[in-house]
Chains A and B, each alone.
Chain A
């Protein structure tokens, strides 16, 4: 272990680390947006029927059981080393489950008396979903999005063995060169900066929660 001291390593590779952190942040953001859009769409389409809702949740849960490494490996053998073929789809898939589950459970969780009252006031199906059910479900959905952001950031790191993007590359470089001088620095960079990206997302969603929770349902 005669490599550079950690902070010297940081300043020596500053540009590269910043670039990779930005990549990681940016691509994770795409994944989260994708997962939220797809997850909520499926939730809205399935929440009304218990059977369809359960089917969607249990299918996603089975997909969730598949290890990320296996899914990346499978897709890279089919599509080759492409970002859109082999990296995005698995990460979106994993980020999907928390949003989907919380979305369905949240949309179903509105008190029947509230729904009845709204119907009595002449609220149509579209407004019922948008103005009644969705605001009631929102805290739960947001909690799901937070979990899925954490998942996306973590799994994106593993995707680095398929396509060389993001901070996971440092982890794999360290694993491939165990015992070489900068292995420790690379491993620590991987841990610290991935955790940092995850923390930034988490902080962002805490702020979003504060400003978007309807006053009545704020805990």
Chain B
């Protein structure tokens, strides 16, 4: 983990090197700063502490069944897989929809979409999962309902990001004779990357945190061991799985943050 971190930072610094030397290192311009190391360090430290703590406990059969390394690895991989599927689907749905409702001809749709989004957001994911679970279970059931649920936050961010662009910039583009498609792809979307990316991060973190609630829908993920630990009243196992979910969320948010910043155009970092 720490090796990976170090090498990724080195390569990213190399990529940003040219820019940094040109602009001198003004604060906030660099892609990576030392504060980026805080989260990985916390994650590794907490992970090691919990690992050592659990290995010092004497576990009974139920606990050692739940904390079996192989099954936990399997569940973690499933968890990551489900969360990433949700995040990718969310981006594929929400960004085009956000672009659609900010075009001139369809702009009147925006308030309705936002209102629908707000109403949908106030419904609890817990109840939605239960309702979906009656009709369909498995991987896709969880992925689709949580995609629909978290698409709202990305959609809102896309709309806000696209509408927040200085009209003068768009005017200048039009004056230069750029086609609407070129303006969208080369100016509007790049300028909206920070805001859209923030929404995508929120969606990813939300997915990591909500997937455990799908424990009854047979989609896999760390929800299953978490809820069996709670229901069998095994504090050590509960603590371990809870910490694993938390560390997973922190790590994925951190990686998404790096991705977001490296994909932001240089001028507006």
Contact = CB atoms under 8 A, between A and B. Distances in A.
Interface string A159-177: 0011000001011101110
Contact of A77 (B125, B130, B242): B242
Nearest to A75: B242
Contacts of A66: 209, 246, 249-250
Contact of A69 (B39, B216, B235, B245): B245
A175 B239 contact: no
B127 A171 contact: yes
Nearest to B120: A195
Interface in A45-88: 62, 65-74, 76-78
A158 B126 contact: yes
Nearest to B214: A175
A214 to B, nearest CB: 26
Interface residues of B, number: 44
Contact of A62 (B39, B119, B242, B245): B39
B134 A184 contact: yes
B205 interface: yes
The B interface is mostly helix, strand or loop, or mixed, namely helix
A187 B217 CA distance: 14
Given A73-B230, A150-B121, A188 B127 contact: yes
A1, A77, A172, A183: residue with the most chain B Cβ atoms closer than 10 Å: A77
B227 interface: yes
A69 B213 contact: yes
Interface string A125-158: 0000000000000000000000000100110011
Contacts of A71: 242, 246
Contacts of A202: 122
A59 B124 CA distance: 26
Interface magnitude class on chain A = 35 or more
A175 B123 contact: no
B124 A178 contact: no
Contact of B122 (A171, A174, A190, A195): A195
Contacts of A77: 235-236, 238-239, 242
Interface of A: 1, 62, 65-74, 76-78, 150, 153-154, 157-158, 161-162, 168, 170-172, 174-176, 178-179, 183-184, 186-188, 190-191, 194-195, 198-199, 202
Give 10 nearest A-B pairs by CB, closest first.
A67-B209, A73-B242, A190-B127, A174-B130, A191-B127, A171-B126, A187-B130, A77-B235, A70-B245, A77-B239
